[in-house]
Amino acid sequence: MNQGKWALITGASSGIGYDLANLMAQDGLNLIVVARSQAKLEQLKSELEKTHSIQVKVLVKDLSKPKSPSEIYSELDKENISIDILVNNAGFGSYGPFHKSDLAKELNMIQVNITSLAHLSRLFIEPMVKKGEGKVLNVASSAAFQPGPGMANYFAGKAYVLHFSEALRNELMGTGVTVTCLCPGATQTEFFKNARMGDSGLASRKMDSLKVAKIGYDALKKGKTIVIPGLFYKLLTLSVRMAPRKMVAKITEWMIKNS
């Protein structure tokens, strides 16, 4: 069923992206794996091509660079590779007061978490619409449902991804292209280490990365719009809708500080 089809996965070298690559390979999808680490991507390529009868193409790209999305599209276009599934998974966070943060890192976060995601979506969705079929999986976060003092930029960026995905889903109805937004809570990836956060609070409720990936991939195949893995995080996002906004910000700030 998936013979000859291609999926593009950003942030494929570890975590949810790595697990999604393995799940899609099991389904016979050819893969374009994108990340900054060539060594990790080459290892993934070797593992998947050895285990499954698929093709894997490695693209070493830094999505904090504004030209990277166009470079990805151009390289694939030259090889006449048409993308059937786009997975915008790459992203990172940082912890601490925004006014004391590393400005370059914060701007890179916006580029990776928001701008490159939108850029890749614009480039690859149009050909999908012309074909009359395609799927997009945008990885947001349960952070998308509330403001996050202490991680203001990250939480706001994930809110963009959620709302962007919902809007696209409606725009694309009837085209054969679906958009799914995966909103995981704390997950067993390198996120907390890279964001320089501890291992208590929300971090202690981390879900298994493969389990999160399976839930997201299943939702993508079914064409669902939003999926939030884990009962705790489903209830958390539901409670946010009923609480006063000032209270939500204060509670979230407390939870982040104790993470």
Q: Which two tokens stand for residue 149?
A: 């003092």
| Positive or negative: CA dihedral 239, 91, 159, 125 | negative
Residue 136 pairs in a beta bridge with: 86, 179
The superfamily (CATH) of domain 6-257 is NAD(P)-binding Rossmann-like Domain (3.40.50.720)
Domain parsing of the chain, residue ranges: 6-257
Residue pLDDT, tens place only, 5-64: 999 999 999 999 999 999 999 999 999 999 999 999 999 999 999 999 999 999 999 999
State the Cα–Cα distance between residues 84 and 30, nearest whole angstrom: 10
pLDDT of 253 higher than 80: no
Q: Is 154 a catalytic residue?
A: yes
Please tell me the predicted confidence (pLDDT) of residue 251. 73
What's the pLDDT score for residue 204? 57
Q: With 80 as the cut, is the pLDDT of residue 88 above it?
A: yes
Span 127-154, pLDDT tens digits: 999 999 999 999 999 999 999 899 999 9
Percent of the chain residues past pLDDT 90, beyond the cut: 76
Write down the catalytic residue from 18, 73, 95, 154.
154
What Å distances lie between residue 99 and 23, 25, 112, 114, 143, CA to CA? 40, 43, 20, 20, 20
What is the reported pTM? 0.89
Q: In this model, does residue 201 exceed pLDDT 90?
A: no
Per residue in 94-105, pLDDT (tens digit) is 999 999 999 999
pLDDT at 186: 86
CB 182 within 8 A of CB 81: no
pLDDT tens digits for range 154-174: 999 999 999 999 999 999 999
- Listed residue (29, 161, 153) closest to 89, CA to CA: 161
pLDDT band with cut points at 50, 70 and 90 for residue 68: very high
Mind listing the pLDDT tens digit for each residue in 227-236?
Answer: 999 888 888 7
Confidence of residue 239 (pLDDT cuts 50, 70, 90): confident
